[in-house]
């Protein structure tokens, strides 16, 4: 039973290489991360390959997968603040997709243990401030990170920053 794919899916599939991440998810470039997630979930409801599994679209399998995989790629990049900054910079120069090497970014040990990208942003900010001996700033960022994700690496950094803060106050007395 050869069925025809929904027209919107056909359009997405044939224009795939001309669409940027915002376009494929039909998102406003100013969308915040809550909108990104909600929009991706809507797209998944409509375009997930499971939706077409039983309906005899065997010949169109490649098309269905290529569209959906690009959607998951777009979601992964746009939902991650660090990747999104890199993507937006490239997009201004005309790169519709994030460079594959950046997309498969190498996370360092501490950052890898975090599941939410936002906690990761705070972790990195806290680390930078810690290295610059801004103990107070590091403690605040670590605490913000902890409010998102209760992770060991953030706790440790927070404890270390607070300890240094107290010590530096004591020695300045």
Partner 1 sequence: MAQEHQFVLGIDLGTTNSACAVVQSGSASVIRRGDDRIIPSMIAARSDGSMAVGLEAKRERLLDPVNAIYSAKRLIGRRYSSPEVTKMIESVPYKIFEGRNESVMVGFGSRKLSAVEVSSYVLKYLRQMAEEALGQRIRKCVISVPANFTDSQRSATRISARLAGLEVIRIINEPTAAALAYGYIEDMDRRIAVYDFGGGTFDVTILEITQNVFEVLATSGEMFLGGDDLDEAILAAMIRQFEEEHGIDLHEHPVARARLRSVAEEVKIELSEASQVSRYIEGVLPDQGKNLNFSLTETALRDLIAPIVQRTVPVCEEAMKIAGIRPGQIDEIVLVGGTTRIPIVRETVRAIFNRKPQTSINPMSLVAVGAAIQGAALVGLLVPMADGGVSAPSMNATAVLLDVTPRSLGVRTLGGNVDRIIERNSVVPVEQTRLFTTTVDNQKYVRIEVCQGESPSFDENTKLGEVLLSGIRPAPRGETSVSVTFEINTDGLLEVRALDGQTGQEQTATMKVLGGMSPEDVDTMISKAESEGLLGDDEHEGSVVAR
For partner 1, the binding residues (CB under 8 A) are 37, 41, 44-45, 48-51, 53-55, 65, 68-69, 72-73, 75-76, 100-101, 103-104, 106-107, 109, 112-116, 119, 149-152
- Supply the minimum distance, in Å, between the C-beta of residue 6 and partner 1: 11
CB atoms within 10 A of CB 119: 23
* Closest to partner 1 by CB, 22 or 52: 52
* Closest to partner 1 by CB, 134 or 149: 149
* Closest to partner 1 by CB, 52 or 130: 52
Q: What counts of helices (H) and strands (E) characterise the chain?
A: 10, 0
In whole angstroms, what is the distance from residue 157 CA to residue 104 CA?
Answer: 26
In whole angstroms, what is the distance from residue 20 CA to residue 156 CA?
Answer: 39
- Supply the minimum distance, in Å, between the C-beta of residue 115 and partner 1: 6
In whole angstroms, what is the distance from residue 151 CA to residue 139 CA?
Answer: 14
Report residue 90: phi and psi, to 5°. -70, -35
- Supply the minimum distance, in Å, between the C-beta of residue 53 and partner 1: 5
- Supply the minimum distance, in Å, between the C-beta of residue 86 and partner 1: 15
């Amino acid at each position: 039973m050869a069925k025809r794919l929904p027209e919107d899916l056909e359009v997405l599939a044939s224009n795939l290489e001309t669409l940027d991440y915002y376009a494929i998810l039909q998102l406003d470039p100013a969308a915040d991360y809550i909108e990104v997630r909600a929009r991706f979930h809507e797209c998944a409801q409509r375009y997930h390959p499971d939706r077409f599994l039983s309906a005899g679209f065997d010949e169109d399998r490649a098309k269905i997968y290529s569209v959906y995989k690009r959607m998951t790629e777009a979601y992964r990049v746009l939902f991650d603040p660090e990747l999104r900054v890199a993507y937006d910079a490239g997009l201004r120069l005309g790169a519709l997709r994030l460079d594959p090497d950046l997309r498969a970014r190498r996370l360092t040990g501490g950052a890898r243990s975090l599941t939410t990208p936002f906690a990761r942003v705070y972790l990195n900010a806290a680390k930078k401030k810690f290295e610059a001996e801004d103990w107070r700033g590091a403690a605040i960022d670590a605490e913000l990170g902890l409010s998102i994700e209760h992770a060991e690496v953030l706790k440790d950094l927070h404890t270390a920053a607070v300890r240094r803060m107290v010590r530096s106050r004591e020695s300045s007395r």
